[in-house]
Amino acid sequence: MTTAVWDEPNLVQGDQTYQTITDTVCRIAENPRPPLAWFIAFAISSSIAGVFGLLIGYLLITGTGIWGNNNPVAWGFPIVNFVFWVGIGHAGTLISAILFLFRQNWRTSINRFAEAMTIFAVVCAGTFPGIHIGRMWMPYYLAPYPSSGLYMWPQFRSPLAWDVFAVGTYATVSVLFWFMGMIPDLATLRDRAKHPIRRVAYGVLSLGWTGSATQWRVYEKAYMLLAALATPLVLSVHTIVSYDFATAQLPGWHTTIFPPYFVAGAVFSGFGMVLTLIIPAREWFGLKDLVTMRHLENICKVLLATGSIVGFAYITEFFIAWYSGNQYEQFAFMNRAFGPYSAAYFTMFLCNVISPQLFWFKWFRQNPWAMFVVSIFVNIGMWCERYVIVVTLSRDFLPSSWGVFTPTPIDIAMLIGSFGLFFTLFLLFCRFLPIVAMSEVKHVLNHEKNHPHEIIEA
């Protein structure tokens, strides 16, 4: 008599040793001639990033009139892009911190990747409010610095001040978490480096890490504490971002569903972006043994779960609008779905709610091409979601103050430009830093060698 046994595929596939893992990962950063695809991608994305820089310069000289922001929709594209990019960042911290706390070993091969994505996404996110503050050469006004003679402080009861603290803390903690995770791997790169400049650069970055048991002991504790701190932090960030909207007394915004719905949406969009990045990266950099189909399948399942939560939230919003009996709320939602921006609304609904449902079928969870297409849909859908929420401003209480928001070409160019910045940073990361957490993968490998998966027949 045989019983069915849960047979998990190995997280590290192929005949791997510590040496082969190190070689696979370090080769990417050490290779003097990266693949041609890297150069092409870098040339494209860095020129787009350069255009972004030029547009910011144009904005500095000319002013925010170059954007489509107008009187009802005072926030426009900058806030849409800000919320979109902050949301992308969430998957990185979620994979690194929350899955670490839940002892999900499958995170180890993708967490570095996702953390880097978090940081670059937060860089892009921080750019938009940074250039939207009017006098953008005085960003230090956001900080509570003691100014002599001015007696001026931030207004700490404002959600916009909360945003500064939330996103600032998030960026700082993400960088610390990312960098601390990289220290042992940077030490590996240091020890393998031949060229003196590389040796010094990696030597300084690895801070003199030796891998002693004392160091590992403190390091493991610190890493666990940082994960435990990052977990509530990541949930708080998009909650506070949603307060920007939810504390405003506007129909369609003033709802208590916003914090959980924003957090679920952020995780959803972040995992979508992880998929978008990791499918080509594992192909180009030969990481298929470390980032296995099981990893991709797990990401798809997270997308399915969070996408369903987001869909549920959309429907709940409509139900509550009807149930509240508030005609302004009802109008706001009817206007979202059937007003002048209905195309964005239905794109959002199709991309965010319908497309991840394909992941119920195993074929879609096993096919990288299908996954890639869905992940692009998710990215588009989540951008549209923020757009739909923000342009709700165009029709509030008084028809006399209604207006229509139309993005200018500069708006669109800056959105594309932020992608250029993101991919430029990401390609540089892939080129020079360890893109897979080697020490953690070796830990998993050691664990799997000692506890091999056996098909038990009884």
Partner 1 sequence: MADKQTKPADDDAAQPKLLGLLAQFPDADELVTGARSITDAGYRRVEAYSPFPIVAVDDALRAKKTILPWFVFFCGASGCLIATLMVWWTNATETTVPFSGYAFRISGKPYFSYQANIPIVFELTILLSAFGAFFGMLGFNRLPRLSNPLFRNERFQQVTTGGFSLMVDADDPTFDYDAVSAALTSAGATFVEPIYAETEGLRVPGALFVPGAIVAVLALIPPLWIAASASGRSELPRRTIWYDMDFQPKFKTQTVAPSSLFADTRAMRVAVPGTVSRGSLREDSEYYQGINPDTVAGVPRRGAQFASYLAEDEPASDDGNADEENAEGERADPAAQPAPEPEPNWVTEFPKEFKVSQQAAERGRERFNIHCAACHGKGGFGDGLIALRARELQQSTWVPPSNIHTDEVIQQPVGKLFATISNGIRKMPGYKEHISVEDRWAIVLYVRCLQRSQNAAKSDVPEETLKEIQQKNQPAVAAEAAADESPAKKEPPK
Site for partner 1 in 228-287 (CB under 8 A): 229-230, 232-233, 236, 240, 243
Draw the binding track, 298-317, toward partner 1 (x: CB under 8 A; -: no contact).
--------------------
Among 14, 17, 195, 360, binds partner 1 (CB under 8 A): 17
Question: What is the CA angle 108-110-115, rounded to 5?
Answer: 100
Locus of tokens 């991309």 = 351
Tokens in use for 171? 């960026």
Query: What whole-number distance in Å separates Cα of residue 178 and Cα of residue 22?
Result: 19
Choose, by CB under 8 A, the member of 44, 176, 250, 376 that binds partner 1: 176
User: What DSSP line would sit under 330-375, residue for residue?
Assistant: HHHHHHHHHSTTHHHHHHHHIIIIIGGGGGGSHHHHH-HHHHHHHH
In a 13 Å sphere around the CA of 53, the CA atoms on its Cβ side amount to 9
- Of residues 391-450, which lie at the interface with partner 1 (CB under 8 A)? 438-440, 442-443, 446, 450
Footprint on residues 18-77 left by partner 1 (CB under 8 A): 18-19, 22
Least distance in Å: CB of 260 to partner 1? 16
Number of residues that bind partner 1 (CB under 8 A): 71
Q: Judge whether 209 and 183 are in contact, CB under 8 Å.
A: yes
Q: Is 99 in the site for partner 1 (CB under 8 A)?
A: no
Question: 279, 296 in Cβ contact below 8 A?
Answer: yes
Q: What is the DSSP letter of 139?
A: G
Residue reference for tokens 């040796």: 199
Residue 289 Cβ vs partner 1, minimum distance, rounded to whole Å: 16
Per the structure block, which two tokens stand in for 83?
């919320």
**Residues numbered 353-382 forming contacts with partner 1, rule: CB under 8 A:** none
Closer residue to partner 1, CB minimum distance, 11 or 351: 11
Among the listed ranges 80-88, 210-218, 308-316, 374-382, the one in contact with partner 1 (CB under 8 A) is 210-218
Question: What residues numbered 132-161 form the site for partner 1, per CB under 8 A?
Answer: 135, 137-138, 144, 146, 148-149, 151-159, 161
As measured in angstroms, the least distance from the Cβ of 163 to partner 1 is 9
What angle, rounded to 10 degrees, do the helices at 76-93 and 258-284 form? 70
Quick check: 190 binds partner 1 (CB under 8 A)? Answer: yes
Does 107 interact with partner 1 (rule: CB under 8 A)? no
Question: Residue 393: which of 405, 407, 382, 383 has the closest Cα?
Answer: 405
Is 455 in a helix, a strand, or coil?
A: coil
Longest dimension (CA), the chain: 86
Q: Which of 184, 259, 307, 381 binds partner 1 (CB under 8 A)?
A: 184
Please say which residue, 409 or 452, places its beta carbon nearer to partner 1. Answer: 452
